[in-house]
Amino acid sequence: MSETFSVTIKTGGALTRYLPEPGRGSTRVLQFEHPTSVQDILQQWQVPRDQPMMTILNDTMVTRPDYPTTLLSDQDVLSLMPAITAG
């Protein structure tokens, strides 16, 4: 039997629409049973590959090239926030 781990996922703005149901608000605590990458999450939630966003794992920015190799661990906090533009 494999051990599960918990990850808190926070979203902002338009990215909230990609969160899985059920739930309310912009945060979910999800359970995983196997190694899961940032890319796995985005694919599972059908977030478009060209979706502008900032991806932050435990207060550290994750760049798109690192999505496939950035694995989530127990008690991680993954934040998916809309890109900020200024003009």
E strands, the chain, are 5-11, 27-32, 53-57, 60-62, 76-82
Cβ neighbours of residue 29 closer than 8 Å, sequence gap 6 or more:
6, 7, 8, 9
For residue 84, the model assigns a pLDDT of 77
Give pLDDT, residue 31.
Answer: 93
Region 5-82: CATH code: 3.10.20.30
Q: Which amino acid is at 29?
A: V
Domain boundaries, the chain: 5-82
pLDDT (mean) for 20-35: 86
**Is residue 2 pLDDT above 80, yes or no?**
no
